[in-house]
């Protein structure tokens, strides 16, 4: 395409390493009939090989300046459906139209957490996700209790998905190079019936409050929601800190509270 100055505010770091692009496409391994949706196609680094391989693809791009080029990619064999929109405003459930979607994307790092939470809200229509993110974010998503980086992102993601880090990607694979290492992660939403969260908003509130003051004991950080008897019922020590609790313990505590709490508003 004609020279496009990368826009920092849109998190534009374009992949140019053919080996990494091929690894992403092989990890996705699209099969006939599947609905693939790419978030932030940019200049088409992943779009074109996916389209050549799969024959059909929907892409969601916010930057108007990239649309003309994406239209030329669509002239290749295949059907490219370009949605010019902010991905955070895209209703994936409506887009799925009764089917299921597979999401792919080298995400804009400045809004990667909001994109992850937005996708989680539509997890019922998402079969899987393959995302390039900051390595530090992937480490947090996959962290286990007790570690320094185990936090709200780890618990929320793991409650709804299996998190599988795939491979690391160095800054030199992008133009312009980001200042951080990156990694590709696969997320597999769990079957709705297996998640077992009774009140999603209350679960989110428990996790947010617990990690909001992570150095405090749960008795203190969750004082607005729990009394000692609630901890006793769920066999959780009130002196413990959030980082010590397994995902299943957060679910058990929130479910117990759901039995005698009114629903709280979802986290904005
Ligand atoms: N996929 C391309 C690649 O790998 O070279 C570009 C990846 S670049 C890291 C992120 C892309 O997301 C950019 O094309 C950017 O314009 C787009 N983007 C940024 N914010 C967005 C938003 N809110 N909704 C949709 N796309 C967005």
Q: Residues 227-249: what's their mean pLDDT?
A: 94
pLDDT of residue 5 exceeding 90, the answer is: no
Calculate how far, in angstroms, residue 43's C-alpha sits from the geometric centre of ligand 1: 9
Between 268 and 52, name the one with better pLDDT: 52
136 & 229 share domain? no
155, 159, 163, 169 alpha-carbon torsion, rounded to 10°:
-40
pLDDT of residue 207 exceeding 90, the answer is: yes
Task: Provide the pLDDT confidence category of residue 202 given band limits of 50, 70 and 90.
Answer: very high
In a domain, 264, yes or no: no
pLDDT of residue 1 exceeding 70, the answer is: no
Q: Is the CB of 1 under 6 A from ligand 1?
A: no
In 3D space, the residue among 185, 158, 236 whose CA is nearest the CA of residue 28 turns out to be 185
Q: Residues 38-55: what's their mean pLDDT?
A: 95
pLDDT of residue 140 exceeding 90, the answer is: yes
Q: Is the CB of 41 under 6 A from ligand 1?
A: yes
Nearest residue (CA) to ligand 1, atom 10: 108
Angle made by CA atoms 160, 240, 211, in degrees to the nearest 5? 45
Task: Provide the pLDDT confidence category of residue 260 given band limits of 50, 70 and 90.
Answer: low
Task: Provide the pLDDT confidence category of residue 74 given band limits of 50, 70 and 90.
Answer: low
* CATH code assigned at 103: 3.40.50.150
Q: Is the CB of 61 under 6 A from ligand 1?
A: yes
Calculate how far, in angstroms, residue 86's C-alpha sits from the geometric centre of ligand 1: 10
Note the pTM of the prediction, 2 decimals: 0.93
Calculate how far, in angstroms, residue 13's C-alpha sits from the geometric centre of ligand 1: 8
- If one residue of 10, 112, 184 were mutated to test the ligand 1 pocket, choosing by the most ligand atoms within 8 A of its CB, it would be 10
167 & 36 share domain? yes
- Structural domain including 45 reads 8-193
pLDDT for 104 equals 98
Nearest residue (CA) to ligand 1, atom 8: 12
pLDDT of residue 77 exceeding 80, the answer is: no
Query: Which residue matches tokens 């892409």?
Result: 59
Number of structural domains (the chain) is 2
207 & 188 share domain? no
Q: Is the CB of 87 under 6 A from ligand 1?
A: yes
pLDDT of residue 105 exceeding 60, the answer is: yes
pLDDT for 70 equals 87
Q: Residues 146-160: what's their mean pLDDT?
A: 95
Q: 5-9, 52-56, 76-80, 149-153: which has the minimum mean pLDDT?
A: 76-80
* CATH code assigned at 228: 1.10.8.100
47 & 170 share domain? yes
The rounded percent of the chain whose pLDDT value lies above 70 is: 94
113 & 217 share domain? no
In a domain, 242, yes or no: yes
pLDDT for 262 equals 46
34 & 163 share domain? yes
The domain boundary, picked from 177, 193, 209, lies at 193
CA distance 151 to 244: 10
Task: Provide the pLDDT confidence category of residue 265 given band limits of 50, 70 and 90.
Answer: very low
Q: 61 is written with which tokens?
A: 């791009």
Q: 112 is written with which tokens?
A: 């990667």
Q: Where are the beta strands (DSSP E) in the chain?
A: 14-15, 35-39, 56-61, 79-84, 101-106, 126-134, 161-169, 174-175, 182-189
pLDDT for 267 equals 42
The rounded percent of the chain whose pLDDT value lies above 90 is: 86
Calculate how far, in angstroms, residue 48's C-alpha sits from the geometric centre of ligand 1: 15
Q: Is the CB of 65 under 6 A from ligand 1?
A: no
């Amino acid at each position: 395409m004609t020279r496009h100055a990368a826009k920092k505010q849109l998190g534009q770091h374009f992949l140019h390493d053919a080996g990494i692009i091929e690894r992403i496409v092989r990890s996705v391994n699209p099969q006939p009939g599947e609905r693939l949706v790419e978030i932030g196609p940019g200049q088409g680094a992943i779009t074109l090989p996916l389209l050549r391989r799969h024959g059909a693809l929907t892409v969601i791009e916010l930057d108007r300046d990239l649309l003309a080029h994406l239209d030329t990619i669509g002239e290749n064999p295949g059907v490219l459906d370009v949605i010019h929109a902010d991905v955070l405003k895209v209703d994936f459930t409506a887009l799925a139209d009764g089917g299921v979607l597979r999401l792919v994307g080298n995400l804009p790092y400045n809004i990667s957490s909001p994109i992850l939470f937005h996708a989680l809200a539509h997890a019922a229509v998402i079969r899987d996700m393959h995302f390039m993110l900051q390595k530090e974010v992937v480490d947090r998503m996959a962290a286990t209790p007790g570690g320094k980086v185990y936090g709200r992102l780890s618990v929320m993601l793991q409650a709804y998905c299996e998190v599988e880090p795939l491979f690391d990607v160095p800054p030199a694979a992008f133009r312009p190079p980001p200042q951080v290492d990156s990694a590709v992660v696969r997320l597999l939403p769990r079957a709705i019936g297996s998640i077992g969260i009774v009140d999603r908003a209350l679960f989110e509130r428990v996790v947010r409050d617990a990690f909001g003051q992570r150095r405090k004991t749960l008795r203190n950080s969750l004082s607005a929601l729990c009394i000692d008897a609630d901890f006793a019922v769920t066999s959780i020590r009130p002196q413990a800190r959030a980082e010590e609790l397994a995902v299943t313990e957060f679910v058990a505590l929130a479910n117990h509270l759901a039995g005698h709490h009114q629903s709280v508003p979802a986290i904005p």
